[in-house]
Amino acid sequence: MISFSKEQIFIVTGASSGIGEGIALLINSLGATVIAIGRNQERLLSLKSKSKNPDSLFLEQKDLTENISELPNYIRTLKDKYGKFTGLVCSAGMDMPSPLVALDLNNGKSLFNINYFAPIFLAKGFVDKRVNIGLGASIVFIASTAGVYPEKGQTYYAASKAALIAGAKSISKEISHRGLRCNCISPAFVDTPMYQKNKESIGTNLSNYALGIGKPSDLADMTVFLLSNKARWITGQNYILDGGCFG
């Protein structure tokens, strides 16, 4: 069984709802300290009220796209505030389903900012030797099956997630000599507020899901494994969790 200590500190972005919330709650319940980052303070407070160990869950309200180039410095300020980090989970993301004829350039830039550039610059800050614990530190990016098996209307979204997957593989090669790891998890449809908002426009065919659509807990379990020493020999991988949809 995987367990953590209070001295192990993990950053989780997108922690105020959906997949990020599920991941933050599980890491916290297993004994670790969690720095939960999200845009919505009310939802962050709700997260804390649900946590098993609220004294080990700290809230940071921030819009990660506000000044992306400064995110490495932001990570360093968090280290000064809380201590060196054991792991980084980038779960914040956004989808804007749109047919090709209706694509808007500004929407595309917004998608890439939150889905690709923000995670990459957070990772840039995290891999600083002054910020992480060194051997055993782990990064997990929450990507999407859209990055491998794109559906119609996902031109921007799929591209941003494919870029994230490729970026993670490149990062893993840069940091492995220091004992740091970087992996991706690519879920198919998971029952989250974002899925509920977009399910009509993306036309989910639930008959393709032999095991049904996913739950945030399904992603949380895999994330915790990749953060733990149980996955000490795993890096540069993209794990597809799809309930049998693309199997």
Query: For 111-161, what is each residue's pLDDT tens digit?
Result: 999 999 999 999 999 999 999 999 999 999 999 999 999 989 999 999 999
Name the residue type at position 102. A
User: Which carries the bigger pLDDT value, residue 246 or residue 113?
Assistant: 113
C-alpha span between 220 and 145 (Å, rounded)? 16
Q: Which of these, 114, 104, 87, 117, lies nearest to 11 by C-alpha position?
A: 87
Confidence (pLDDT) at 123: 98
Report the run of H or E that residue 97 belongs to, with start and end. Answer: none
Query: For 31-86, what is each residue's pLDDT tens digit?
Result: 999 999 999 999 999 999 999 999 999 999 999 999 999 999 999 999 999 999 99
Name the residue type at position 225. F
Using the predicted structure, report yes or no on whether residue 196 has a pLDDT greater than 70. no
Confidence (pLDDT) at 33: 98
- Establish whether 116 is a catalytic residue: no
pLDDT grade for 208, boundaries at 50, 70 and 90 = confident
Residue 197: count of CB within 10 angstroms of its CB: 12
Which residue out of 74, 116, 156, 157 is catalytically annotated?
A: 157
In the CATH hierarchy, which fold is given to the domain comprising 9-241? Rossmann fold (3.40.50)
Q: Coil, strand or helix: which one is 134?
A: coil
Confidence (pLDDT) at 191: 83
CA Rg value for the chain: 17
Segment 157-185 mean pLDDT: 98
C-alpha span between 45 and 53 (Å, rounded)? 13
The pTM is what?
Answer: 0.94
Q: Coil, strand or helix: which one is 84?
A: coil
Q: What's the token pair of residue 16?
A: 């105020």
Q: Tokens 């922690």 identify what position?
A: 15
Segment 17-30 mean pLDDT: 96
Confidence (pLDDT) at 205: 64
Is 61:39 a contact under the CB 8 Å cutoff? Answer: yes
Listed range (27-31, 83-87, 202-206, 225-229) with the worst mean pLDDT: 202-206
Is 148:165 a contact under the CB 8 Å cutoff? Answer: yes
Q: Coil, strand or helix: which one is 130?
A: coil
Is 10:35 a contact under the CB 8 Å cutoff? Answer: yes
Average per-residue pLDDT for the chain:
94
